[in-house]
Amino acid sequence: MQVLQVQLEVGPDPAEVGRARRWARSRLAGSGIGDDEPLAETLILLISELVTNAVVHTGCPAVLRMLLGGPGVRVEVTDASDRAPARRQAAGDDTGGRGLELVDGLADRWGWQREGAGKRIWCEIDRAVEEPPAAPSAPLGKVLLKREPRVYL
């Protein structure tokens, strides 16, 4: 299967997060992942968190990259800051500090690595897997198994 790689340069301005979301939605739709699919909504949320972290916490331009068409979707954000991503412990009424917890709860895999003078943070989501019906009484057709998101309270 062919993997399509698309990328967007993001400036160090919080307004760029909205632009990155709109751009990602159009690229997902172009690859056959519709706006109304749970996979698309999850990916947009992950992109929003990773781009926000790059823009707000580094003050540097970044590059958003999506790899589409394999068994899953990979999202990468590369920036020029050498500061490692750090999880924060948000209090109940804090309006921020939950980004990496959210990424951890929604992505199947995520991580980061140094890249030149900066870093790359990435996450992957597997596409739904087709399985045969679990019981003979199940309706005929495809059954799609979807991963339940992990929720942190």
Q: On the CB side of 64, how many CA atoms lie within 13 Å of its CA? A: 28
Calpha distance 118→137 (Å, rounded): 55
- Domain limits of the chain? 4-83+94-145
Calpha distance 63→145 (Å, rounded): 32
Least reliable range by pLDDT among 54-68, 72-86, 122-136, 138-152: 138-152
2 band by pLDDT with thresholds 50, 70 and 90: confident
**Residue from 13, 3, 39, 2 nearest 24 by CA:** 39
Superfamily of domain 4-83+94-145: Histidine kinase-like ATPase, C-terminal domain (3.30.565.10)
140 band by pLDDT with thresholds 50, 70 and 90: very low
> Within 10 Å of residue 116's Cβ, how many Cβ atoms?
9
Give the tens place of pLDDT for each residue, 66-111: 999 878 899 999 999 988 887 767 666 655 656 788 899 999 999 9
Average of pLDDT values for 22-49?
92
- The pTM score is 0.78
Query: In the prediction, which pLDDT does 99 show?
Result: 75
**Position with higher pLDDT, 98 vs 55:** 55
| Contact partners, residue 55, CB within 8 Å, separation at least 6 | 10, 11, 12, 13, 14, 16, 17, 62
Mean pLDDT of the chain: 82
Query: In the prediction, which pLDDT does 96 show?
Result: 62
Cα separation of the two ends of the chain = 39
84 and 112 Cβ atoms separated by less than 8 Å: yes
Average of pLDDT values for 114-122?
94
Query: In the prediction, which pLDDT does 94 show?
Result: 56
Coil, helix or strand for 138?
coil
